[in-house]
Amino acid sequence: MRTATSSLDLLQPRSLGEALRMLRDEGPLTPIAGATDLYVAVNFGTLGSSRFLNLWALDSLRAISLRDDSLRIGALATYTAMIRSRLVRRRLPMLVSAAREVGGMQIQNRGTLGGNVANASPAGDALPVLAVAEAVVVLRSAKEERRIPFGQFYTGYRASVRRPDELIVAFEIPPLDGAQWFRKVGTRAAQAISKVVMAAVRGPRPRIALGSVAPTVIRLPHIEEALAGGAAIEDAVRLLDQDIQPIDDVRSTAAYRRDVASNLLRRFWVDTESAS
């Protein structure tokens, strides 16, 4: 059945500069990249916006490269592009693991890293990876470029520091020491939204991030500090309630999420034992 999209406006810039000028002069506009999440809400009529900006043609935002020893991933890089990228496989294998578990092939072919971050769901699978990688979010407007540490990007549930006239253009990921680890727990591997998702690095100082256990993706500062100080994993796990605030919702319960998060922490620690 045809959905009610015929009355919606779509602006179609041919360059990043044109897109940024449209955001400045013709806003408010809702940017659309691979459309895999946002367009669902458009079709169900649950999204408030009626004017959109099509980013899909902006090929300059697809590049994956090394710049000053940082891995730079363009906002329009798809999950498939990240899975195929030798640079991502070598530098950030946990991002490849995350990308393989987003949706099925059809979603991986269209969904983008920039879209995952801009969409700002606390369940976004790539977000814990960016959090532990301490990525920098590169934002650009017609006026300026801003570089925001990922840990400061979200300000609350589905809220971020991105201004309406800004686009996410890239992510920069500095070199990372240590063993990388990723695990998503959902109803099934493909096509299911995470009940809990975790990325972690066992390096000089352990870094751990969880999705779906708080209004935004979060790092676990108390547990990281305990583990860095040499605490046993069972002692560190007891600190979990200081770091997470899971809720009951359609996908799971707070109690289940708490149990799974504890188990993921233990599993991470066992799996990366040889890297310590």
- If the CB atoms of residues 57 and 275 are measured against another protein, the closer one turns out to be 57
2 binds another protein (CB under 8 A): yes
Binds another protein by CB under 8 A, chosen from 17, 26, 27, 44: 44
Stretch that binds another protein, among 39-47, 133-141, 177-185, 227-235 (CB under 8 A): 39-47
Which of 13, 18, 39, 151 binds another protein (CB under 8 A)? It is: 39
Gap between the Cα atoms of 212 and 252, Å rounded: 10
The two structure tokens encoding residue 40:
């669902």
Tokens 């899909």 belong to which residue?
Answer: 56
Q: Contacts by 82-90 with C-beta closer than 8 Å and gap 24+?
A: 82/113, 83/108, 88/64
**Binding of residue 119 to another protein (CB under 8 A):** no
191 binds another protein (CB under 8 A): yes
Among 13, 21, 43, 251, binds another protein (CB under 8 A): 43
246 token code pair: 């899971």
15: left (phi over 0), alpha (psi -120 to 50) or beta: beta
CB < 8 Å & 24+ apart, contacts of 247-252: 251/123, 251/186, 251/187, 251/193, 251/194, 251/195, 251/212, 252/195, 252/196, 252/212
Shortest spacing between CB 23 and another protein, in angstroms: 17
Q: How many residues bind another protein (CB under 8 A)?
A: 33
Binding segment toward another protein, per CB under 8 A, in 28-36, 216-224, 229-237, 264-272: 28-36
Contact between 238 and another protein per CB under 8 A: no
- Render 202-237 in DSSP notation, one character per residue: ESSS-EEEEESSSSS-EE-HHHHHHHHTT--HHHHH
CB 45 within 8 A of CB 4: yes
Please report, as residue ranges, which positions from 80 to 109 form the binding site for another protein (by CB under 8 A).
80, 103-107, 109
Nearer to another protein, 56 or 256 (CB): 56
Using the rule CB under 8 A, which residue among 18, 47, 54, 228 binds another protein?
A: 54
Residues that bind another protein (CB under 8 A): 1-3, 5-10, 12, 32, 35-36, 39-40, 42-44, 52, 54, 56-57, 80, 103-107, 109-110, 189-191
